Amino acid sequence: MPNVCGIVLAAGASTRLGENKMFLRIGGKYVLERTLEAFEESGCFSRIVIVCQQKDQAEIQMIAQRVLQVPFVLAEGGGERQYSVENALAAAKGSDLVAVHDGARCFVSPQTVRLCVEKAIETGAAAAGMPTQDTIKTISGGCITGTVDREHLVNIQTPQVFSYMLLKRAHEQAREDGFLGTDECSLVERLDIPVSFVESDKHNIKITTQEDVLYGRLITGEKLRTGQGYDAHRLCEGRPLILGGVHVPHTHGLFGHSDADVLVHAIMDALLGAAAAGDIGRHFPCTDETLGASSLYLLERTQDIIVQKGFGIINIDATVVMEQPKLSPYIKQMRSNIAAALGVSLESISVKATTTEGMGFEGALEGVSAMAVATISG
């Protein structure tokens, strides 16, 4: 087997979707996670290069470490797809073949990946795609002028696999000519090199719009579930005030098991409720030796329970009800701590704070409460 490097493109701006699609969860898994799983399961690669934006590297590193057994490196994305691939080719130096794939095509099958690699080993260049099903017309001035024979038309996809030297030469020629292509085939075609066609399947869609996300959820049979959580603790002297894993300077802290982090406890109950997995007391009873530990550690254990039941976390929205002190300076760190403990993106975590304007036990400075809503999928 030749030395084959997989190149996964994950540096797009996702402007049409409005958020980074690599970190969207479909059927309980990140889009990028599904793509990397297909590459790993194909058994074709000696290493993988993941092209991404610098700001996403930490999260992508975390996902790749969890999924990949083969060695991988991250390469910085360029302003255009073509430049991103050029950066990846530099990182893939020494490979015999390279397989370029859009990270957003997360439903590619390992079999399709293997077929493309095998065909490229045979011919030097291969790309996945589907025969066009629609009747294609030409138009001019708003009028139909003819029909194109669809027998000779295909919708091209990825992976697109080439000998390393061929694709490098194609990129060098394109740069010299000032040509910007939409995919790797278009660059290789300019060298008059034929690219073999490998028929893919209808599920090899590219996640670009909300309609694609909905179709992806149909493919996976995803079900969305929601849970709510509530917790309250008394304020007392001599205890630190810990909220969302942040030590908030205050004269009083919260009384209770572990660090009495009322925010994290509400989130834990919301997650467990969404998964129909009981509550905090069931999984972390008063006799549990870990109850002296950080609540963030217990949150990590809660996330393990959710994953074991086949679910992934989509979103958490939580509110802390506390008269004083003001929590706004600490909210961002709370979100970051919670996201890290759950292994999700910061955008998936919302934390808010409010007061009761002097009403109730919160207003009387007797205690603090928190509410949370969690959405999971599986």
Q: How confident is the model at residue 200 (pLDDT cuts 50, 70, 90)?
A: very high
Q: Give pLDDT, residue 256.
A: 82
The model's pLDDT over 17-46, given as tens digits with 9 standing for 90+, comes to: 666 889 888 888 899 999 999 999 999 999
198: CB partners within 8 A, 6+ apart: 112, 115, 116, 119, 126, 127, 128, 129
Provide the greatest CA pair distance for the chain.
Answer: 83
pLDDT at 85 (0 to 100): 97
Tens of pLDDT, residues 88-139: 999 999 999 999 999 999 999 999 999 999 999 999 999 999 999 899 999 9
Question: Which residues, other chains included, contact 331 with Cβ-Cβ below 8 Å and sequence gap of 6+?
Answer: 244, 351, 352, 353
- The pLDDT of 154-163, averaged and rounded, is 97
Superfamily of domain 4-220 in the CATH hierarchy: Spore Coat Polysaccharide Biosynthesis Protein SpsA; Chain A (3.90.550.10)
Model pLDDT for residues 296-351, shown as the tens digit of each residue: 999 999 999 998 888 889 899 999 999 999 999 999 999 999 999 998 888 899 99
The sign of the CA dihedral 202, 207, 213, 216 is: positive
0.85 surpassed by pTM: no
Q: Within 10 Å of residue 329's Cβ, how many Cβ atoms?
A: 11
Q: Is the pLDDT of residue 157 over 60?
A: yes
Phi, psi torsion values for 58, nearest 5 degrees: -60, -45
Is the pLDDT at 14 greater than 90? The verdict is no
Q: What is the pLDDT of residue 17?
A: 64
CATH number at 224-377: 3.30.1330.50
pLDDT level of residue 221 (50, 70, 90 thresholds): confident
Tell me, what amino acid is at 318? A
Tell me the domain boundaries of the chain: 4-220, 224-377
Q: Give per-residue pLDDT as tens, 74-93.
A: 999 999 999 999 999 999 99
Residue-averaged pLDDT of the chain: 93
The whole-number pLDDT of residue 356 equals 95
